[in-house]
Structure 1
Amino acid sequence: MSQAAQSIPDDAIIPPGPSAQSAPPDGPAPAATPGRLRQLLRPELLQSLGLGLLSLAAGVLFWHWASSTNLNFYVNFENVPGPGKVFASFLGHLQTEIFYTHIRVSMQRIVLSYSIAAALGIGLGLIMGRSKIVRAFVMPYIEVIRPIPAVAWIPLAILMWPTEEASIIYITFLGALFPIVLNTLHGVEQTPEVLVRAAQSLGASRLAIFGHVVLPAALPSISAGLAIGMGVSWFSLLAGEIISGQYGIGYFTWNAYSLINYQDIVVGMLVIGFLGTASTAAIKLMTKPLLKWQKRTR
């Protein structure tokens, strides 16, 4: 070893840089939890949540006041049970197995009929949006059948299908189908033609244009149609269950009305509202990852 190297003191050795240092003994750094927490606790989100809770509380207070004072001013609350009675009835039903059976049967019908409607509606809407011949052929059927309410389909559906279960699913399917088809068609029609021509000028095939230009442009409308279709499917399902069902939350509500059980009527209505809201929120949550590009373009 040379004399110059021996004269360098130990404390003058330069420590290795960050890339050469070993990882801390406790392992890798944790995920950015504070960042996620700040995202969840955004002021506008907290404000929206607070206003929603305040609105619900005001509605429950008005309901309690109107039912306790037997309010009869245009709307008659004399026979409307108060929130306390409804909540007590709801807790009682939570302890029975048949109540969960009603909810399970309704959810099964919704999942099956809505899945068929979503698959057929999106596919048909995409084809109609890109083919004038198919649109001219199919649109008259949609415009004639779409205004028919679900209740009007019940007698014919019972005659058409071999079982009551199949007729209920068919009616629910029709309710979800038309919003999905029309919103998908609208989304395809709103695709900027300049993007299609640009892809054509670059040599893209029709299938590539459809998959990389038309479908992404139509996704916002498709997402809206799926959410609307879920709400309409619940309306159609309940209409079918009221008339021809033996199980389901719609049958539960109608049976409570037949027995003049006012508390259970409101319980059924609130459960329907909660299930409809939760299922629509689930649809929006599932389609949200497909729409991330919207935030990047803002």
Structure 2
Amino acid sequence: MAVMTSKATRQSRRGWRYQTAMALRALFFANRSARRLLALVIFFGGWQFLCNIGFSFFVNFQLIPSPLQVLKATLTFFTTDPWVHFRSSIQRVMIGYAVASCLGIILGVLAGWFEKVEDLLMPPLELLRPIPAVAWIPLAILMFPNAESGMVYITFVGAFFPVLISTIRGVESILSDTVLIRVGQCLGARSWHIFKDIVLPGSLPSIASGLTIGMGNAWFCLVTAEILAGRYGIGYITWESYVTSNYPPIVMGMLLIGLMGAISSWAVNRTMAALMPWRVIKKQDA
């Protein structure tokens, strides 16, 4: 009897383990949030493991701050007055991004729609587009009356060109689709109606891509911009930590900039998706 009870207990445990494993498997494959959380756990867990063992093969993790050290630096940072840094960085990025988005979309639509505007506009802009943000720092100091305006300009440069180029390509792609244009003309649409009802809605996906990339670039240029400031901002904290060889806050600043950039890009994606209710994306299961 005891043997039978022990055997039944083992079978019950196997059944419970199997059911638990199947439940976790179903949760992983059915829940996107669970998959993304697992990806973060693997990322930070692998990073901590490589730091603990002092991995050094092509990439040296012996001097890289571990996630626990970065967490400690983050807690220390939040015990001071972090909001002045967040407020400064967010304000600079949002102002530069807003101006870049408005100007990039307007000029991009005009350049995509009118050939003469593109001929007059694009040669000087194509000459300026490859210049990295860090190269603009000396001119930003000379061009603007204060450092704050110079920092906003650097974030503007980072966001402007992706928005501009994506808008031009989006408008041109719709104009190149002669079927859409001819259908509109057959229905009696004039140039204004073709522009308003066909070209603008059709180019929105490309504009949305440019806005998302531009937001990421604006945060990317933040550290470069805040080298000018010398007092406040997440980028300045990152740069100051590098100058003083205080490594955990460097990674903390990088992750905070990445987090704010990801949240901002998500907000842009959600906003643009609301403007395109007809566009449904269905991905294939792996």
Q: Do they superpose with TM above 0.5? A: yes
Does the CA contact (< 8 Å) of 2:100 and 2:160 recur in 1? Answer: yes
- Which protein has the larger Cα radius of gyration, Structure 1 or Structure 2? 1
Question: What TM-score do you get using the length of structure 1 for normalisation?
Answer: 0.81
Matched, 1:227 2:199: no
Sequence identity, in percent?
43
Q: 2:112 aligns with which of 129, 132, 141?
A: 129
Does the CA contact (< 8 Å) of 2:223 and 2:239 recur in 1? Answer: no
Question: How far did 1:190 drift?
Answer: 1.0
Matched, 1:145 2:128: yes
Show structure 2 runs of 5+ residues with no match: 1-25
Question: How far did 1:43 drift?
Answer: 7.8
Give CA-to-partner distance per residue, 1:55-76, whole Å, 9 cap, x none.
2212212211222222222112
Question: How far did 1:162 drift?
Answer: 0.8
Query: Partner residue of 2:69?
Result: 85
Matched, 1:66 2:56: no
Amino acid at match of 1:74: F
- The whole-number CA distance in structure 1 between the counterparts of 2:55 and 2:28 is 37
Give CA-to-partner distance per residue, 1:86-131, whole Å, 9 cap, x none.
112212221221x211111010011111011111111111111110
Does the CA contact (< 8 Å) of 2:89 and 2:234 recur in 1? Answer: yes
Question: How far did 1:201 drift?
Answer: 3.2
Q: 1:284 aligns with which of 269, 273, 278?
A: 269
Q: 2:35 aligns with which of 47, 51, 63?
A: 51
Query: Partner residue of 2:155?
Result: 172
Alpha-carbon spacing, 1:46–1:162, altered in 2? closer, same or farther (3 Å): farther
Query: Partner residue of 1:265?
Result: 250
- The whole-number CA distance in structure 1 between the counterparts of 2:61 and 2:260 is 25
Matched, 1:108 2:91: yes
- The whole-number CA distance in structure 2 between the counterparts of 1:207 and 1:64 is 58
- The whole-number CA distance in structure 2 between the counterparts of 1:297 and 1:271 is 31
- The whole-number CA distance in structure 1 between the counterparts of 2:104 and 2:244 is 39
**What is the SS of the residue equivalent to 1:294?**
coil
Matched, 1:156 2:139: yes
Worse-matched range after superposition: 122-131 or 50-59: 50-59
Question: How far did 1:264 drift?
Answer: 0.9
Query: Partner residue of 1:35?
Result: none
Does the CA contact (< 8 Å) of 1:184 and 1:222 recur in 2? Answer: yes
Give CA-to-partner distance per residue, 1:183-228, whole Å, 9 cap, x none.
1111111112222232233332322221111100001101111000
Does the CA contact (< 8 Å) of 2:28 and 2:35 recur in 1? Answer: no
Alignment RMSD, CA only? 2.1
Worse-matched range after superposition: 226-235 or 242-251: 242-251
Amino acid at match of 2:97: Y
Report how many aligned residue pairs link the two structures: 256
**What is the SS of the residue equivalent to 2:62?**
coil
Alpha-carbon spacing, 1:296–1:241, altered in 2? closer, same or farther (3 Å): closer
Show structure 1 runs of 5+ residues with no match: 1-41
Alpha-carbon spacing, 1:46–1:159, altered in 2? closer, same or farther (3 Å): farther
Worse-matched range after superposition: 60-69 or 150-159: 60-69
Matched, 1:119 2:102: yes
Question: What TM-score do you get using the length of structure 2 for normalisation?
Answer: 0.84
- The whole-number CA distance in structure 2 between the counterparts of 1:44 and 1:282 is 25
Worse-matched range after superposition: 61-70 or 142-151: 61-70
Question: How far did 1:45 drift?
Answer: 8.0
